[in-house]
């Protein structure tokens, strides 16, 4: 949530503490307090340190990880974004539960094509050409795992090198054996 502090009085202004009529909407998702707009030299932006996954009550597909250095996640248009600039939390952004975060990320990853039989260059070590052979996703901080393959870390997705075809379980095992012998 964006807050401003008056340089002389120390008054902190945020949308949650004032009536909505006291704000201008800038057309790109930010509400700006009238006092700040009218006297910009008297106000300074208050930067709050936050870290974690967030959801928005009004945008059910939106999910964002935010800390002081980076923000990334699923946009309202169901596309991935990664931004290390000034992404701010809005009034209706609330901390996401681990269950909600894992559910949303695993559904998004599946839509992108990360599923059993997909060949990826994993994000850990020098493993290239890993055939995904699991169906269970796991989340550890900003890392999304599919079985033992790291498929997303700090907002960066593993490269899919081949979409799955109709592999049998036996063929998947043979492919994994061949790849591990490289």
Block mean pLDDT (10 aa), the chain, length 182: 71 54 48 54 67 88 87 92 70 88 95 89 73 86 90 93 74 80 70
Q: SS3 of 140, please?
A: strand
User: What predicted TM-score, i.e. pTM, was given to this entire model?
Assistant: 0.66
> Any alpha helices (H) in the chain, and if so which ranges?
34-38, 98-112, 169-180
> Is the CB of residue 132 less than 8 Å from the CB of residue 149?
yes
User: What local confidence, expressed as pLDDT, does residue 40 receive?
Assistant: 61
pLDDT at 157: 95
What does DSSP say about strands 52-56 and 59-66: parallel, antiparallel, or unpaired? antiparallel
């Amino acid at each position: 949530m964006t807050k401003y502090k008056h340089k002389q009085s120390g008054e902190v202004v945020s949308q949650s503490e004032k009536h909505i009529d006291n704000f201008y909407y800038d057309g790109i998702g930010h509400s700006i307090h009238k006092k700040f707009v009218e006297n910009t030299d008297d106000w300074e932006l208050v930067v709050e340190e936050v870290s974690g996954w967030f959801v928005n009550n009004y945008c059910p597909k939106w999910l964002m990880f935010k800390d002081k250095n980076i923000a990334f996640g699923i946009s309202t248009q169901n596309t991935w974004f990664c931004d290390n600039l000034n992404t701010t939390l809005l009034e209706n952004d609330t901390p996401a539960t681990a269950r909600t975060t894992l559910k949303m990320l695993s559904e998004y990853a599946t839509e992108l094509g990360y599923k059993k039989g997909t060949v990826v260059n994993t994000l850990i070590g020098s493993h290239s050409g890993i055939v995904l052979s699991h169906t269970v996703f796991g989340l550890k901080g900003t890392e999304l795992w599919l079985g033992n393959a790291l498929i997303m870390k700090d907002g960066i997705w593993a490269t899919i090198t081949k979409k799955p075809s109709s592999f049998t379980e036996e063929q998947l095992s043979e492919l994994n054996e061949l790849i591990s012998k490289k």
